[in-house]
Every structure is written in C-alpha cells, then in structure tokens.
Amino acid sequence: MLKEMGVQARQASACLARLMSKEKNRALFLIAEALEREQSAILLANQQDLEAAQQLSYSAALLDRLRLTPQRLALLQQALQQVIQLPDPLEQPAEYQILPSGLQLKRQRVPIGVIGVIYELRPNVTLDVSALCLKSGNAVILRGGKETQQTNHCLVTIIHQALIRSQIDPTAVQLIPSADRRWVNELICADKSVDLLITRGGEALHRLCREQATVPVINGGAGICHLFVDASADLERSLPLILNAKVQQPSTCNALETLLVHRSIASKLLPLLSEALALNEVTLHADPAAITWLSRGPAKVRPLCKEELDQEWLSLDLNLCLVEDIDEAIMHIHHHSSGHSEGILTQDASHAQRFTQEIDAAVVYVNASSRFPDGGQFGIGAEMAISTQKLHVRGPMGLESLTTVKWIAEGDYLVRN
Amino acid sequence: MLKEMGVQARQASACLARLMSKEKNRALFLIAEALEREQSAILLANQQDLEAAQQLSYSAALLDRLRLTPQRLALLQQALQQVIQLPDPLEQPAEYQILPSGLQLKRQRVPIGVIGVIYELRPNVTLDVSALCLKSGNAVILRGGKETQQTNHCLVTIIHQALIRSQIDPTAVQLIPSADRRWVNELICADKSVDLLITRGGEALHRLCREQATVPVINGGAGICHLFVDASADLERSLPLILNAKVQQPSTCNALETLLVHRSIASKLLPLLSEALALNEVTLHADPAAITWLSRGPAKVRPLCKEELDQEWLSLDLNLCLVEDIDEAIMHIHHHSSGHSEGILTQDASHAQRFTQEIDAAVVYVNASSRFPDGGQFGIGAEMAISTQKLHVRGPMGLESLTTVKWIAEGDYLVRN
C-alpha cells in the first residue's frame, strides 16, 4: 500500500516540479479560503479527536497541543498567507559559470522530490507542512498522530479539494493511516520512493529513525533547552525571562526544561524564583543543593531524578541544578543537550563569548529567552521543523531547505583532457 | 577502542575550530613538504601494498587505483597547495540581522566537528580528505582499504609529524585498522562521537550504511554513468566523446558504464564504435539488438546480463543498449542511475531540455563527457567526494560542505511576546 502511495507521490512530484509559482500560490489560496468556509467541519472533527483523547486521560499539555479553535484556525490561515507571500525558492536565479575547459556549468535549485513527515499531536503541522512542501514543489506523505486522525483527515480532504480545483494531482499530499505503527516502519525504509524524512517528535521516534531508517532523516522538534544563570546576571531582569522561557507555551520544543544556576547567586535567586514559579503553577525538580534554598518558598518542589535531565517535559515542570561555574554549566549542557536551543544570562562578555563558542547547538542565546527560534521569529517565514542536526539545515527549516541543487553542464561535444 | 578515538577526535575538533587559517595552512604546507622529503619511504610502503595485492591477483584496474608514483605524489602535493590557496569557509562573514523583537541574530559558519571517512583503494584519498578536513576545522577518522594499509600508515605518520610541528593535536587525523571489518560496523554506529560519515565506495558499502548506520551519511563515489546518443547527435564528434568518457580513466566514478544508442542510428554508429573501442581494448556487453550491428566489427562483444546494468565496471567494459526514443532512454536511466552523472548527445534543443529537466542526478550533461565532475574541474578546488544524494550537498563536495551553521541570538534580557 505504501509502495503504491510512493509511486503516486513520485509521479505527482514530477508535475509539481514544473508548476509556476502562481499556480502553486493559487492552490494555497484555495486551501486558506476553505479553512474559513469549512471551519465548523474542522472543529467538529477536532472535537471528536479531543473527546477520544480525554477518554484516554491525556494530560492538559497534550490536549492543548491537539486542540484547534477559531483563533488557531485564523492563525493557520495567516500562516498560509505568509507562505504565499514567501519567494519561491525555485525561482532563485541559477548560478552560471564557464569553466576553463569551455564547459558551461549551471547550478540550479530543484525540489527534493518526495518528503515524508512524521509528527505527533498538533494538527496545525498538517497544514504548515503541506503548504511548505507544495510551495517548494515537493510531494509529501504525512503521518500524523493517531490522536489527530479525524482532524487530519478533514484537513487533508480540504487540501485535496483545493488541489483538484487548481488542476494539481491531489496525490501531491497524502496521509497514511495513523492507527497502525507498521506504516511508520514502512515509511522510514521507503528509500526508493521517499527522498527525505522529517520527524517532529520525541526522542523515541528519533532513536527509531536513527537505528532503522534507510531514508535520509532530518530530526526536528525535540528540545531539551537549558538556561544558565551566571553569577553576574541581572537577577531582577532574569526572573521574567526564565518565566517566559518556561510558561509562555510549555508544550513547544523551544520551552525551557532545565535551569542551571551559579551557586553563588542561589541564595538570592532561588527564593524569588520559588515565588514566581508558584504563581505560575510550575513544579520544580531540584537537585539536593538547590532544595536547601527552596524549602521555605511556595513553589512545589520534588527531588530531581537523574533521568529527568534527559526528558523533554513539555509541561509546567522545570529541572533546577546548581553549578559551580561556567565550566560545569557547559559540561552539563554537553551531556544533556538535544542540540536545539541553549542560553546564558550574564553580564560578563568573556563568559558570553565562551558559551556561544563552546556550546554545540542550533541556536545559542545570550540574555534572551529560548522561545524565539521559529521560522516566523527568525524572518524566514513558516517552518517545517527546527532541525537539531548539523547536516543540510540547522535551526528553523524554511522553504530553501526543502530544495536541493542540480548541476547542468553543456558543451560542444566537449571531452576532458 | 573506537570510543577512545572518538573522545580524542572530539577534543581535537574543539581545538581545531579555534585555529586561524594561517595555522591550518602552515600544517598543510608542512605535509606537502614532507611528501617530497619522504617520497622514497612512501613509495616503498606503496610497493609493499602493491606486491601483496598482486599476490592476491587483483585486477589491473584495482592495482592502478592503488599505485602511487613520483608523478602522482607530485599531483598530490599540488592538490595540497590548492587547498592552502582556497578561502577558509569559516572566514565567510557571518550574516547579521536585528529582528523586529530586538533580537540580534547572527548566523555563522562552524565546522561540523568529527568526520568519519570510509574509502577503498586509492591512497591519495587519505591526503585529500585529511587536508580538506583540517582546512575546514574538522577532526577526521579515516578508514582506508585494507589493500592500502602500509601506504596509509606511512602517510598518516607524515601528517602527524606535520601536525605536531604545527602544535596541533595529532589526534585531529586518526586512522583505524583496516584489517578488521568490525571497525567499520563500530564507526558507522558511533553517533555519539562522529557527526558525519562520508563513504567513498561501491554499492555494498552504501547499502551497509543505509541499513545500519546511525551516524548521518553522505554517499559518494558510486557512479553508474549513462550516455544517451540521440538520433540527431553528430556521430563523427560523438565517437571521441564516448571514448573519452570510457577510457580516459576507467577506474574513476565518473567514467561511462552504459551507452544508450537511439535505434535509428545504430547501423551507422555501431560499426564505427566497434573499431574505436577495439583499438582501446574495451569489451562491449551488448543487448541482442545491438549485437546484430556489432558482429562484424573488431570489438570484443559479450551478451549483456541484466545485472550488469546495475554494476559499476571501473574497467574497460561498457554496456550497450539500443533504445526506441528519448522516453525509453530516460526510463532506463531512472531505473539504473546511481544519481551521479548522466549525459545526452543531441542536436535537438527540446530533447536536451527534457533530458536535463527529467533526469534526477547530481550532474546532467549535454554534449559533454561525464568525466568532468570533480572539484578541480568545477572550480571549487579539491573535493571530498562526489555526493550522489540530495541532502546537504549534491555533486562535488568542497570545503563549505564540511561546515554547518550556528545561530547566535543576543538580547537585553529579551522575552518573547
């Protein structure tokens, strides 16, 4: 079955590669329009998914990721409009050169071909990802979470209608059944029909792909983000930043998971932190040294288990460790980072420099909240994922990262000497 | 053991990342100098490898790949000088922007870290690859062919001496024993210590990596290159080009493996081809329809087995098939291409356009020999490999492809709204 979808996707991708920008934009426009027209159908499907998830006792954080509202649909519509506005990466002028041999060499952007995307709860990904793939001339095979089945089915039906109205092969966007795990195993090994797999999920999915995928994979979306509060940090201004990083949208990959505090400022910062976090209902998972300073504060504190340092909470939980100095902070991050976003709060320029140089992550922050890295904030428009790996693309994945190049060489019956 | 090498490589890479261009160039200069000074030691080691290979009855093509000569050493020295001349990719100016939020965002090039390279016979790869990794600030773990053990050991000793004299950690370049296959299995799964694996070898190595590697892989070097002689091709000028693509250096990945000839010109082209190939001692593996036109010619002809169409000859063997039209040629290439270099000889502009658009390969040629794609010819200097995949880099892999980016974001205790 997947094989057949792969063949269809390959055929669709050949047609997509030849479309003009305006043809692709028209399809995106029709999708955006249908989001409004079909709002009640979408929300109804989403309600069915939410009820099923509630019956399975999903956490509030998970339900939040799953939920669509009229406001969120309006944001999705805006995101589609943004994708329409973005320049078509395939219209970048090709690079030309004439080599000393006389060979005329052209290097031009082309779509990657067929992209597989595996993601979890959030149904907005279905639209974002489809729009970015279409705009960049790629066919896409989607595998969303089983919790979002009804919503995704409804959204993909809307996309298909828009594609048909735009005279584009609807198999350009295909959704595989999410109920059966076997489809995932087939998809990650479909190297004949899928050129790139993008995974937006937790560490378990990444490990599965690392160990079993034969399709090239870009991992995105797992963020164990650290923030180190150095001895010289401005404490008063640090508090709102820590809160922002943790509570603004705890279910996203760029939310803060572990706070590292320089031991020398623990006595000042931790009591203030306890109050601020208690107000925001954050549970602290603190190491023994930190607990000393927290025991009288109002925040809920639990002893930290070692394994929690490698866990992406995605909830109102925060790990807290005291460190001796910047060396220990850097070492801690080396051991536990997922390579997403790591930050330092400091007034010491040499510490800021060491931190940005030595930390090996997609984004390194100095005196700023880890909540920033996304395509919108970084000025590259909507994004496919935040790549936490080093090859092809690192950080927010925009349209260009969904393309590759082809070299075209012309001569006049030219031979190599 | 590999784990320990990985830890050392990681440490060395942190130091390499901070070196200035001139420090790296000095080390490369010392290596180039030593190639001349130590020439007799290198050739002696190479002679030992050659004798061992001869005793194992290696083919002439393989012995040619293994052999070093004073001339080839001089070319290697030139290649090192070229790498010294190349601009340091880490000195590319960073891209700055200030986002509407006030965040100061910098995107800068950084080395990838630790690169593993698995290659086969050719000992020049040991030097090329080490030089490119050093210049781009990466540590490298090399795994050459077991047939080149003595030569590689001698070359890496020379590199180590030059690194020590340049006060660079010599574990920046490490060679793993090539006698034991288990090392390969360890290396391709060393995702904790190796950031990128580059494989220069045949399809078997690629399959092994596709199925078992947990380190991200770039496959390079397997080339099943096709050339389609269209009905409108200038036959007289086609002959020297076909010869160039096949015989100039048959042991390289960009040599021609399969010739597709439009049926309508078979009666004219094939007799001429038979003569030209016979003079160059090329054996033809021809399909039944082609054999008809070849039976009276002087070239050695064998019936083509289907499996040979997926084989990289690397020798003076050439597959030959007749095709009905450009559609059949494109379809044939879709089925058998390794995504390296594919060419068409034609006078018909619309056929040239269809071919360049529809063929999915790193380099597509019109009226030019497939022998061109290498870093030197394409003007990007020495090369690590020819990437036949679509992610990160496609075609010749120059210095920039050995780097990635890091985003550095600074604010004044900036939070996201």
Q: Tens digits of per-residue pLDDT, B251-296? A: 888 899 999 999 999 999 999 999 999 999 999 999 999 999 998 8
At residue A64 the predicted structure's pLDDT band, cuts being 50, 70 and 90, is confident
Q: Which are the contacts of B27, defined by CB distance < 8 A and separation ≥ 6?
A: B134, B162, B163, B165, B166, B168
pLDDT of residue A21: 97
Q: Which residues of B touch A405 (CB under 8 A)?
A: 394-395
pLDDT at B375: 67
* Residue B17 binned pLDDT confidence (cut-offs 50, 70, 90): very high
Alpha-carbon Rg for chain A in angstroms = 24
Span B174-187, pLDDT tens digits: 999 887 888 999 99
| CB distance B315 to B250 below 8 Å | yes
Residues of B in contact with A114 (CB under 8 A): none
CB distance from B14 to chain A under 8 Å? yes
Tell me which H or E stretch contains A363.
strand A363-368
Bridging pattern class, strands A217-220 and B283-286: unpaired
Q: In what order do the strands lie in the sheet with A395-396?
A: A173-175, A139-143, A114-119, A196-200, A217-220, A386-387, A395-396
pLDDT at B171: 98
Rounded CA gap, A18 and B7, in Å? 48
Using one digit for the tens of pLDDT, what is the confidence trace for A386-412? 898 899 999 989 899 999 999 999 999
| CA distance readout (Å), A82 to A74, A76, A77, A371 | 12, 10, 9, 20
Contacting residues for B403 by C-beta, under 8 A, at least 6 apart: B89, B90, B109, B110, B111, B112, B136, B137
Count Cβ atoms within 10 A of the Cβ of residue A306 and give its class: 0-12 exposed, 13-18 middle, 19 or more buried: exposed
Q: Which tokens sit at A50?
A: 């939410």
Vertex A388: Cα angle to A384 and A391 (nearest 5)? 90
Please give the residue of chain A at the shortest CA–CA distance from B362.
A406
Torsion of CA A176, A177, A181, A187, to 10 degrees: -10
B211 and B48 in contact (C-beta within 8 Å)? no
Helices (H), ranges, B193-265: 203-212, 235-247
pTM of the shown model = 0.91
- What's the Cα-to-Cα distance from B375 to each of A83, A154, B79, B101, B378, rounded to whole Å? 36, 49, 11, 42, 5
Nearest chain B CA: its distance from A30 CA (Å): 28
Q: Is A413's CB within 8 Å of B237's CB?
A: yes
Residue among B14, B105, B115 at smallest CA distance from A358: B14
B120 band by pLDDT with thresholds 50, 70 and 90: confident
Cβ pair A195, A17 in contact under 8 A? no
Element (H, E) at A277: helix A266-279
B198, B408, B412: which to substitute to probe chain A, counting the most A Cβ within 10 Å?
B408
pLDDT at site B296: 86
Kindly report, residue by residue over A179-202, the tens digit of the pLDDT. Answer: 788 899 999 999 999 999 999 877
Q: Is B137 exposed, middle or buried (0-12, 13-18, 19+ CB in 10 A)?
A: buried
A334 touches chain B (CB under 8 A): no
> How far A147 CA sits from the closest chain B CA (Å)?
29
Evaluate if residue A239 carries a pLDDT over 80.
Answer: yes
Which residues, 6 or more positions from A280, have their beta carbon under 8 angstroms from its beta carbon? A243, A246, A247, A316
Query: Cβ–Cβ of A409/B365 closer than 8 Å?
Result: yes
Q: Which of A60-69, B2-11, B139-148 has the lowest mean pLDDT?
A: A60-69
**ipTM attached to this prediction:** 0.91
**What is the rounded CA–CA span in Å between residue A142 and residue A149?**
11
Band (pLDDT 50/70/90 cuts) for residue A375 is low
DSSP for A130-198, please give it.
Answer: HHHHHHTT-EEEEE--GGGHHHHHHHHHHHHHHHHHTT--GGGEEE--SS-THHHHHHHT-TTT-SEEE
Contacts of residue B369, Cβ cutoff 8 Å, sequence gap at least 6: A411, A414, A415, A416, B241, B244, B245, B248, B343
- pLDDT bin (cut points 50, 70, 90) of residue B373 is confident
Dist. CA B265–CA B229, nearest whole Å: 9
% of residues, chain B, pLDDT over 90: 78
- What's the rounded Cα separation, in Å, for the pair B30 and B168? 12
Cβ contacts of residue A383 below 8 Å, gap of 6+?
A128, A132, A374, A375, A376, A396, A397, A398
Q: Which residue of A has its CA nearest to B344?
A: A410
Tokens representing B94? 């960073």
Residue A322 tokens, joined: 């005291």
| Closest chain A C-alpha to B48 CA, distance in angstroms | 32
In this prediction, residue B19 has a pLDDT band, given cuts at 50, 70 and 90, of: very high
